[in-house]
Chain A
Amino acid sequence: MAFALLGKLLDVEWMLRRDAQRTSAELQQHDQSLLGQAGVSNPEQAFELWLAARREELGNRTLGLRASELLSALHGVLLVLALLGGAGVAKALLHEPSAQAPTNVLTFLFATLVWPLALLVGSLCLLALRRRLGRSVLLEDLYLVGVGALGRLSRSAPAQAPELGSGDVARQWRALRRSERRYRDLEVGTLLAAAQWYPIAFHVGAALVLAGSALGSDLAFAWSTTDDSLEPATLWAVFRVLTAPWCEVLGSGCVGRELVEATQFSRFTGGYAQPHGAAASGAWWTALLGCLLAYGVLPRLVFASLLSQLVRRRSARLGERVLDLRGRLHGVTVRVSQRHPEPNGVAPAAAQAPAATAAPVELACWVIGWRGAQLEEQALRAACARLGLRAERRDAAGDGDVEHDTALLHGGGSALSAVLLLADGWEAPDKATRRFVQSLREKRDRPLFVGVLIERQDAPALAIWQDRLGLLEDPGLSVEAIVTSPAGGSRVPA
């Protein structure tokens, strides 16, 4: 359900804001504790589990959950009301107070089909205008009124959810909308997609009553005109086009010229134009049902589906926003991966965990200095120990000699159980780097640690490396910070 997605995004954004007060080491530890026992194998799964765990910590009383629950409930109520509305309108038109008067097919179609279609056209226009006006002129305003009401409702129990701050959902949501334009786009898309289901329910309600009444009672249909303004031939031409899709394919639900001519009704004479009009008029119902389904339900379903796809695409782009989060989760994911049990339990370098928590068995490791990055022997041993590794062989790569790098990939330390690629944080993780990392992984499925040498734990370079190597979506790859201080060209742990 789209509202669940809105709720998730709201919670992620909200939690990222709360996390901004904490150090990255604290965050790493916290994430590790949340996912440590989970056994996930990819960042998406890790993200879902992480969010579930964070919500659980807060007793599932988060802003996003509350918003999505309330919006879902509202959606359900509106759906039922729309269904009842459609049924009521159809019922009223089919069984007019005067049982003698047949139902005017044009009135029926206008009430149950044409004006909801006009609303569809209207919403499309609003969508187009939104580009020019910067926002939806009607829907969004109504929605904001709803959000305001939501805020008043949620204020009733702030004490039970201290994490919600003042408990004012509307205020926090508005703040997010102001700061993140993409939320607004996503919101409008979600709302429009949801809004399509109300007319669908309306049409379905009308169609159900029409079918039910046709089967369980005697319906009479007719059409009328004043001073012969509307020729039977014209009306027939219109209905022939309208009913063509199913008439041609199924052979039923057709409106013939005879039916149109026979069912013209006059209030002055109190009867049909032709004597057999009354008996023939019941044939209209299948055509009307076809119109409701083909021109009422179907376009809305298509529109709703297109909007849902749009929302999905928009929400996929939101990954940019949660890169920081994904970056954090990525490292955690690798460490809890079931495909590579060896590094399990290795404390993250970022968390500066003591060596005692390292894996009991150290993996023989191939250390490659990328583009001249290097660590002094002692510093390297300490870094390896933290990662549960034992440096067995050291090589250099990325110095511009492609043949040398290729030979290294084919020979080198290919027999060793893990690889530690040392890279300077200030180097950009460009395509050449990503290609080399990929090649290392393709040659043999073994854990690959990219040790980014940085001078501060919170250096932005680490996030860039995590982000860019995260594009490889490789669960066997882990980006680790190795905090160093420059000392005469070599690097020593701080």
Chain B
Amino acid sequence: MSAANLPPVPTFAVVGRVNRGKSSIIATLAEDDSIAISPLPGTTRRATEYEVALDGEVLFRLIDTPGFEDAARALAWMQRDRPNADQRRAKVAAFWQTFAGSDEFVEECELLGPVLEGAAILYVVDGSTPFRENVMAEVEILRWTGQPRMALVNRSQDGTYLGAWHAALAPAFSTVRNFDAHAASFRERLQLLTLFRELVQGWRAPLGHAVERLTAEQARRLEQSARAIAALLVDGVTHTFELSASPAGLEPAEQRAAEQRFQDELRELEQRGRRQVEALYRHHRVATQAEPIERPEFSRDLFSERVWSALGLSAGQLLATYSVAGAVTGGALDAVIGGAALLTGTLIGAAVGGGAALWQLGSRAVGVTAVEGWAERLSKSRGPLRRYRVGPHQHPNFPFVLLDRALLHHEAIRYRAHALNAAVELSLPSGTSRTRDLPAGTRQRLNKLLLRCRKSPGADHARTQAELAELLEALLRQRDTELMG
């Protein structure tokens, strides 16, 4: 096809038989989960254009079209005068001119319109069903248009019929690819664009640019996600609120209410963080059945909770992490006195650190402390109420549970196809802790940063948060490499 006929912005019409997943493919390629996807045939009635744009720049366009409803009869109409090869495109155009706006061949006209205007063709077939001869009428019509075209075999995970589909479509399409709209990775999406770049010379430059922009955008999303998770962690471990109660302390009912409120606010924080990450990846309609942070009871039963046993660091890892932190502090003292104490400082530091971890493992997760100093308390000793601060969360595993859940959520979102949002709820992998697999050094560093925040919840932690974000970005990038190669 000559470059003169091509629209300046690469445009692809996604066509195929009714109910073969065209809209799903558009949703995944355009990262748009608002596209109507329905198991009922004939959901798409009009050709609809979707722009894939970044910062206002349109990279390419995708056109969702209604499915072929009566391709055989349409082809029969076109074949009436037995046109030569060079007359066929004109014949398709004549077909469109004859029937567009009439009650006949409504869907065929609707899908051929954008193709005749210059859109390249993405022809979608369902790889989970056997190849049948009748689809060749559709293939023939598309071939007659003379537009650049690629066939996508959707739902290709069951490979039973793939051979037949590839063999049948190969003669009529420049490329035939398996592309499962519900499982396609970002890399597969890019590969599709790269293929088209090779296929259509006129779009080489804009599609190359689109691939570069999308790759950069994906990297930016990872960086932004790391920042969002870092902010969530800092907010989570420093979260507190104040309340007034009698000088004698909180009544049990007041304490329960305060703890409940504290847990609710943490859940809200986590949800907000998740929405941020989802928005980064343009997942606006993702539904999840996974519970937010489990509400631990302020008793030992807390440790029997499924989430807390599955996520975060194991008890051994926590003990080791805290012991090493104590040992480092003690070691510093040893160094100051020139090792004269024969590493007693290190040993005591490790013991104290480990002991603190053990004590905190069994302690109440939420601390309730009086806010006023002694002087204030004395001066207000006759006052009816005192101020108390609830939080931050004391459990040593809490930041790691929070981090684990954030990492799992990010993983579920980053590699999720947008078409899935209409069909399947987001499920977070359970029982697969990411933090437990971290190298000890990384765990130490994380713990150090998080402890620093928790110790002074009211302070400004911008620098710590930035350090944390940097560390998390490295972790996310490493995971990305593991998963995507």
Contacts and interface: CB of A to CB of B under 8 A. Distances in A.
A252 B399 CA distance: 91
Most buried by A among B68, B72, B75: B72
A278 to B, nearest CB: 72
A402 B132 contact: no
Interface in B21-79: 39-42, 67-73, 75-76
A430 B138 CA distance: 14
Contacts of B68: 430
A338 B131 CA distance: 41
Contacts of A489: 130
A200 to B, nearest CB: 42
A468 B43 CA distance: 13
B193 to A, nearest CB: 29
A400 interface: yes
B256 to A, nearest CB: 32
B41 A428 contact: yes
B17 A428 contact: yes
Nearest to B40: A464
Nearest to A405: B72
Nearest to B20: A428
B79 to A, nearest CB: 9
A372 B68 CA distance: 18
Contacts of B18: 428, 430
B80 to A, nearest CB: 11
B42 A371 contact: no
Chain A, interface size: which category?
A: 20 to 34
A460 B39 contact: yes
Interface string A404-448: 010000000000000000001011111110010000000000000
Nearest to A425: B129
B136 interface: yes
Query: Which residue, B67, B73, B126, has most C-beta atoms of chain A within 10 A?
Result: B73
A432 to B, nearest CB: 4
A75 to B, nearest CB: 39
A432 B130 CA distance: 19
A401 interface: yes
Contact of A432 (B73, B128, B136): B73
Interface string A357-373: 00000000000000110
Interface residues of B, number: 27
B70 A401 contact: no
Given A371-B132, A372-B133, A428 B72 contact: no
Contacts of B19: 428
Interface string B1-31: 0000000000000000111000000000000
A460 B41 CA distance: 12
Interface in B254-296: none
Contacts, number: 62
A403 interface: yes
B426 interface: no
A395 interface: no
A400 B41 contact: no
B40 A398 contact: no
A399 B67 contact: no
A147 to B, nearest CB: 32
A380 B454 CA distance: 74
Interface string A375-408: 0000000000000000000000011111101000
B134 interface: yes
Contacts of B134: 371-372, 398-400
A463 to B, nearest CB: 9
B449 interface: no
A346 B67 CA distance: 36
B371 interface: no
A435 B70 contact: yes
Given A402-B76, A403-B76, A430 B69 contact: yes
B161 to A, nearest CB: 10
Nearest to B137: A400
Given A428-B67, A430-B18, A399 B133 contact: yes
B39 A402 contact: no
A478 to B, nearest CB: 20
Nearest to A398: B134
A428 B137 CA distance: 16
A428 B42 contact: yes
Interface in B440-464: none
Contacts of B136: 400
A432 B41 contact: no
Contacts of A371: 132, 134
Contact of B70 (A426, A429, A432, A460): A432
Nearest to A468: B41
Q: Considering residues A424, A426, A429, A431, which has the most beta carbons from chain B within 10 angstroms of its beta carbon? A: A431
A460 B19 CA distance: 13
A429 B40 CA distance: 10
A431 B105 CA distance: 9
Contacts of B71: 400, 432
A400 B132 CA distance: 10
A432 B67 contact: no
B168 to A, nearest CB: 12
Contacts of A424: 129
Contacts of B42: 428, 430
A428 B126 CA distance: 12
Contacts of A400: 71-72, 75, 133-137
A372 B70 contact: no
Contacts of B73: 402, 432, 435
A428 B133 CA distance: 15
A370 to B, nearest CB: 9
B130 A430 contact: no
Interface string B102-145: 00000100000000000000000010111011111100000000
B271 to A, nearest CB: 24
B67 A430 contact: yes
Nearest to B68: A430
Contacts of A432: 69-73
A321 to B, nearest CB: 14
8 contacts: A372-B133, A399-B133, A402-B76, A403-B76, A430-B42, A431-B70, A431-B107, A432-B69
Interface of B: 17-19, 39-42, 67-73, 75-76, 107, 126, 128-130, 132-137
Interface of A: 371-372, 398-403, 405, 424, 426-432, 435, 460, 464, 468, 489
**Which 5 A/B pairs are nearest by Cβ-Cβ distance?**
A428-B41, A431-B69, A428-B18, A432-B70, A402-B76
Given A402-B76, A432-B71, 16 more contacts: A371-B132, A372-B130, A372-B132, A398-B72, A399-B132, A400-B133, A400-B134, A400-B136, A403-B76, A426-B126, A426-B128, A427-B129, A430-B18, A430-B42, A430-B68, A464-B39
